[in-house]
Chains A and B, each alone.
Chain A
């Protein structure tokens, strides 16, 4: 599955991952390696297990079988906040801001808890860090506004900014573009590409095909909890099973 001559250790290694909800198998023996700096598109019809996979990687769900190895360390049993500190960040499909806080305060939470403990950073410098992340995500003017007053696209960006503030090695974006207009999709996509250019590995779940095609170096397609195709974007799109499962043709 990896290109020939690949020698680097995978950043994220998922082996034989299985997750069941009662009798329903949401993820069935999923294995995949994700390499440092990679941009992976994750597609699949609704209910195919994409978000479940993310929840297993970020630690929101306990897996029933299999392992998740991150940077050479087995993180399968670690709680989410420890994984965040190790460098796994995510956004949520339905934005989950800290509603009682401003945009800047949302990011401060990440600075307070996700970065190296014990290192004292003065308030002014922390504010600078927050502002630089907000500037990069185009939210600088919204810093001191309550998150309840943000628009959809701003909320999506805030989620990505908060994830960025944890200084991740791996960023998982869960449908950050769903429901946005074409120009807004481009904004978020450009943002993700800019982050990828800073050597952050990104897994992007998306239904918008142009975005997936433009973004991904590799695309993985899930259906009913199994990987049915993985590889170069056009190959995966041309795959008959993918077309049957995902595109419904």
Chain B
């Protein structure tokens, strides 16, 4: 098990070094522009699966958390000219509080009712922000990027590296949860909530914890988005596409293990970026829909489940 952890942290360190080297070697800005979006979706999908995958509570409000992250950054920039680090940390704190509030309000509901409540939440928040003049209201707001840290050529490259650090943070958190008593408790309550309670699992508290962590990560992932686009407006920050895309990524990758949403986000994220360049960004939604249908029918447990099934079959075949 320890060797496993060494390998994990080694891989994470290698990933960050590779990302950093990429900012030194690659001159073209476009790879960072596209890569940032993929990294952002990895964080969102991993964060989503902490509540949606481990606990089985399907959250349709990813856009609410993401948008709140963006607007926390917008507000801090406008009000205090806060640095990127402050924006992200504050967004994470706001996300945690929002997660707690949402959890307290909705986690007593089960299944589809929870999902509907999260959609309602995102509409409420989007409407509020639309009517908030200070951050630009419905028209949106333009933002100026401050100079980047000296070790980066451009602000975009810095954002790319920062999002990569958030990826590591999200994956490490998800991995910790999965392997600890928290993960075991979430898995138990996902299987059977009453049986879990009667086995001593504090189901409400664990669900709240998952919602808080998931919310904090989603908001943190959204925060750099303000400076990434140098512009924010409610209808794109709170776009329901984020919810659907993130959900699709987690489900297509598989939610039983933290690597699932990572794979899903990479596969789907790369596909979307390629399509956006070669055909159009509108075709993304269509492809998303088709892939989701294919996976629901052919591999309900995602790529992860598919791989597992093949491995098991191979092994069974080898023995026979």
Contact = CB atoms under 8 A, between A and B. Distances in A.
Question: Do A and B belong to a common assembly?
Answer: yes
Interface in A64-121: 79-81, 84-85, 89-90, 92, 96-101, 105, 108-110, 112-115
Nearest to B190: A100
A3 B256 CA distance: 54
Interface in A36-62: 58-60
Contacts of A166: 199-200
A96 B187 contact: no
Chain B residues touching A, range: 20 to 34
A81 B197 contact: yes
Contacts of A96: 192, 194-195
Contact of A109 (B188, B194, B204, B256): B188
A98 B200 contact: no
A110 B201 CA distance: 8
A19 interface: no
A156 interface: no
Q: Which of A90, A97, A100, A113 has the most CB of B within 10 A?
A: A113
Interface in B188-228: 188, 190-192, 194-204
Nearest to B183: A112
B112 to A, nearest CB: 20
A220 to B, nearest CB: 22
A35 interface: no
A226 interface: no
Contacts of B200: 81, 84-85, 109-110, 112-115, 166
B185 interface: yes
A162 interface: yes
B175 interface: no
Nearest to A147: B191
A85 B197 CA distance: 10
B191 A101 contact: yes
Given A98-B187, A100-B190, A112-B184, A84 B198 contact: yes
14 contacts: A60-B197, A80-B197, A80-B198, A81-B200, A81-B201, A96-B195, A97-B192, A98-B196, A101-B187, A101-B191, A109-B185, A110-B200, A112-B185, A113-B201
Interface of B: 181, 184-185, 187-188, 190-192, 194-204, 256
Listed from nearest, the 9 A-B pairs whose CB atoms lie closest are A114-B200, A113-B200, A80-B197, A96-B195, A98-B191, A84-B200, A112-B181, A109-B188, A113-B201
Interface of A: 58-60, 79-81, 84-85, 89-90, 92, 96-101, 105, 108-110, 112-115, 162-163, 166
